[in-house]
Amino acid sequence: MRYHKIPDETVRRLPVYLRGAIYLSKQGRQNVSSQTLSELLGVNSWQIRKDFSYFGDFGTPGVGYNIRTLIKHINKILNLDVPHRVALVGVGNLGSALLAFPGFATYGFEIAAAFDTDKRKVGKKRNGLTVEDISSLPAIKGRGVDLGIIAVPAGAAQDVADRLVGVGVRGILNFSPRYITVPKKVKVITIDIAMDLARLPYYMPST
Amino acid sequence: MRYHKIPDETVRRLPVYLRGAIYLSKQGRQNVSSQTLSELLGVNSWQIRKDFSYFGDFGTPGVGYNIRTLIKHINKILNLDVPHRVALVGVGNLGSALLAFPGFATYGFEIAAAFDTDKRKVGKKRNGLTVEDISSLPAIKGRGVDLGIIAVPAGAAQDVADRLVGVGVRGILNFSPRYITVPKKVKVITIDIAMDLARLPYYMPST
């Protein structure tokens, strides 16, 4: 099943809702109002109601949204109802932080392979994974990996992207501070941490 | 000068435009069309024109937007036309990656101080900064620091947030995977890298 086309900005918020819903579910809650979600997540309650209306308004007046149903819907919309295996390329400080990051499991992601070019890193264990040489990347083809994370310096990013596309990865999370080019069938999301910092001063009134 | 209230989603895209404009400017370009920006940044051209209309449409038909004016406007709107000094708390893998990250300078940010609790890190130099003990945080009060970055484990995040608020920080970029509570006068942006990864499968058609 494919839901109707959903605006990118709503897609951006869905993982936020999902994380909030999982958090509330772990606390033993069954239902949640848009108001409570709003306070927890810092998203306007009308925005939440509008976003949820894209996949059919299943909230009950006075009761709110059923949390299990919410989690099920969002997982299905985001294609998170199937597990995803991720190849990480670049095991420097950032890559190491990503390997140790517990948050991926929340969404059903597993970092299944880690690659680097540094001979001092290749063969070493990191968080239960043995770092492999980048030349071994083609070996992931049979291992069900459909996502890639690029955590290499800017100069190497395009080459790594080409290699990931070459082994059939269909989605790339790019942490390198440069634009990369991929075929249309592959989706790239570029993360620039500085961009998130750059939004902050907007909200700080001049003193 | 304060511009009209701009939607959060536009504020989120402004640093993207700013980065693109700076990139084009460095290539020696004077003007850019919304179409070219769209192709570079992966944002719809109508969305770009709509976003730019919030601060007065200064594009010229057939010529496009003047890049210098664009950079000036966005810097002013985002309050990036004054320099910002940042205190980083947590010098683990992620914090070390942030210290080495060149992208902050693009937006006029300077990481001015780095803190940790680990005695093996305190006193050591990292990217030109001497890591200080977290108990020294109050000493930043006279050093013009108005932003904080939290890169500590979840369990320590709220305590660090309280300390940062206590020394007058008005904006916090939070990388810890938990919700933190701050007074209304302080803005928090929480970064969950897994959330960005969680958006990717939406865009990957089922095979």
Q: Give the DSSP per-residue string, A87-101.
A: EEE--SHHHHHHHH-
Residue B112 has which token pair? 């001015």
The pLDDT profile of chain B, 207 residues, written as one tens digit per residue, is 455 678 888 998 999 999 999 999 999 999 999 999 998 887 889 999 999 988 776 678 888 999 999 999 999 999 999 999 999 999 999 999 999 888 898 899 999 999 999 999 999 999 899 999 999 999 999 889 999 999 999 899 999 999 999 999 999 999 987 778 999 999 998 888 888 899 999 988 655
pLDDT of residue B4: 64
CB contact under 8 A, B197 and A109: yes
Q: Does A206 touch chain B (CB under 8 A)?
A: yes
CB–CB of A157/A174 below 8 Å? yes
Contacts of B102 in chain A (CB under 8 A): 177
Q: Could you give the ipTM of this predicted complex?
A: 0.87
Rounded to a whole number of angstroms, the distance from the CA of B188 to the nearest CA of chain A is: 8
CB–CB of B115/B87 below 8 Å? yes
- Backbone conformation region of residue B90, classed left if phi is above 0, alpha if psi is from -120 to 50, else beta: left
Contacts of A86 in chain B (CB under 8 A): 197
CB contact under 8 A, A173 and B197: yes
CB contact under 8 A, A109 and B194: yes
* Measured distance CA(B201)–CA(B190) in Å, rounded: 22
A65-87 average pLDDT score = 94
DSSP B43-85: --HHHHHHHHHTT----BTTTBEEHHHHHHHHHHHTT-SS-EE
- B189 forms beta bridges with B173
Q: B158-172 burial, b for 16+ CB within 10 Å, e for fewer? A: bebbebbbeeebbbb
Contacts of B181 in chain A (CB under 8 A): none
Over chain B, what is the mean pLDDT?
Answer: 90
CB contact under 8 A, B15 and A194: yes
**CB-count exposure of residue A197 (10 Å: 0-12, 13-18, 19+):** buried
What chain A holds in terms of domains, given with CATH numbers, is: 8-77 (1.10.10.10), 84-195 (3.40.50.720)
CB contact under 8 A, A187 and B204: yes
Contacts of A194 in chain B (CB under 8 A): 15, 101, 103-104, 106-107, 109
For chain B, give the percent of residues with pLDDT over 70: 96
Q: Does B86 touch chain A (CB under 8 A)?
A: yes
Which residues 158-177 of chain B have a CB within 8 Å of chain A?
170-173, 177
- Predicted structure pTM score: 0.84
- Tally A–B CB contacts below 8 A: 168
CB contact under 8 A, B15 and A97: no
**Sign of the Cα pseudo-torsion (B61, B66, B67, B71, in order):** negative
Contacts of A201 in chain B (CB under 8 A): 78-80, 84, 146-147, 171
How many angstroms separate the Cα of A64 from the Cα of each of A18, A51, B106?
Answer: 15, 14, 44
CB–CB of B95/B88 below 8 Å? yes
Rounded to a whole number of angstroms, the distance from the CA of A150 to the nearest CA of chain B is: 12
Closest CA to A174 of A196, A198, A194, A158: A158
